[in-house]
Structure 1
Amino acid sequence: MSQVLGNTSGRERCRMIQQGVRVGTKRTFLQESRRFKLMQTALGSGGEGGACDLQIGRFGAVIQNNSVTFQRLSYLHDREIRTYVWQVPERSGPTSNDFECIPWFYYSTVDMVKDLNSGLVGPLIVCRKDTKENIVHRVLLFLIFDENESWYTEENINTYAQEPNQVDRNDITFKRSNRMHAINGRMFANNQGLVFHVGSEVNWYLIGIGDESGLHTVHFHGHSFVFTDMGAFRSDVYDLPPGSYQTVKMYPKDVGIWLFHCHVNVHIGAGMESVYTVIE
């Protein structure tokens, strides 16, 4: 069961988010999300006061029971909490052709386009009950965040532009500069927490979301992986069109710092690349 905490410090909020706990105050969920940018924190941009630095894979819940209880804070009266029980039926879990865990995706629909491009997104990982505890779970969200469509567009212009009144919001160069080709909300190898030991069993959960430009080819350097699709296949590249989710399993064996990225030229050139590290 999730917890709801009011009057907690930024550092404490980050700690609770890292443990997969919903954090809130008397504000509505939408107001709370805008104030603390919770999903941007989950995607790795740091919490209130820069107190934490998280990866989306740590934020996503790994569901191994047949139900999840959570608390919803949207459109409620002051200090009011409602508890909902979300049943996870067997059909939502892995089939006999899948690995032990599969990814799903959640997002806000107050304004789907604005919410998505503001970072109100995240993974849900559904596992079989007998899943081994030593599997390392990491989520990779490949998404071009269009900050022209964000709730924060005007706030960002007023905060960072030297002359906000002179900004031409319809200028094509300005619009292109606001399209962030990101992995877990970060660009140009600024993801953290992707460190593994030789011999680890790593489940990468690949998620692709976006518009017609969000066609990605996820390429890992250094190691291949196994994926299932009417059988088991080995590769180091996986095609990820919008609205697709896939588990790929890797067994790191070579020590080093290894690149992974989208292989679409425009995307990698715009920052959709990062690294993972393998140590002894």
Structure 2
Amino acid sequence: MAAHLRVRRLNMLSNHSNRVPRVFKDRSNPLEDLSEDEVFRRYRFHPDTIVYILSLLPSLCRRTKRNFPVPPLLQLLVTLRYLATGSMHLLIGDSVGLSRSTVGRIVRQTTRLLCALADSFIKFPTGPDALLVKNGFADVAGFPNVLGCIDGTFIRIRRPIENEADFVNRKGYHSLNVQMCCDHQFKITSCYAAWPGSVHDSRVFRSSSLCAQFENGDHNGLLLGDSGYPCRSFLMTPFLNPQGNARCRFNESLCRTRVLIEQTFGILKRRFQVNI
């Protein structure tokens, strides 16, 4: 009996020595096994930029009564993955070992923190920056004294409970009509999201603080818009029926410059495909 027990113990020790050790990945750093290109494809940002964004959100690291709180980096990555793909919370949670409710809570909290940083990055050019922007726009198609290109874009939303018809845009779905202005480098310098999708671009502009700033003379320059906007002393729009070479050249220069805002919308919506 004793010999049988000794043989059994030897067999157990032998099996234990041949066992392949388990490798545990660092849950607080999901980026460690991904290349830079793979990180960008999944989260729409490069690793260095993700680390920079994380440094702007110190409140993600907070005390909890749970034994295993979700690391701040993982919270940010979950949010960026959702914004980049618009995938279901359940699928995103399965990929990182989190529940559906946890992912939803993380996305809501982190998105609020990111939105609170908007005023630090979305700024209309003034002073020396305004001169750089004017020179940059002039290099595009020769249109002088331009501070920004302006247009509205539809951002899809869920069907609202109140005033539902007001949010149905001309394309037939519920949305907000978001006004944005960009510079020559596709940087958004103004964003105004306060009107439902059925409201015309010109009305959105009239009620915006950007319009009030130009009317008060706060900016020395021009905005470029499409024919949906009224022509003002500070807002240039194309001629509807141009006659003569001068007006045709004006339209061509304006349209080649103004297309930057449409390209900005394209870049933004391709990078963040949530609700599209």
Common fold: TM-score over 0.5: no
Structure showing the higher strand proportion among its residues? 1
Question: TM-score if structure 1 supplies the norm length?
Answer: 0.26
Bigger Cα Rg? 2
**TM-score, normalising length: structure 2:** 0.26
The structure in which a higher percent of residues are helix is: 2
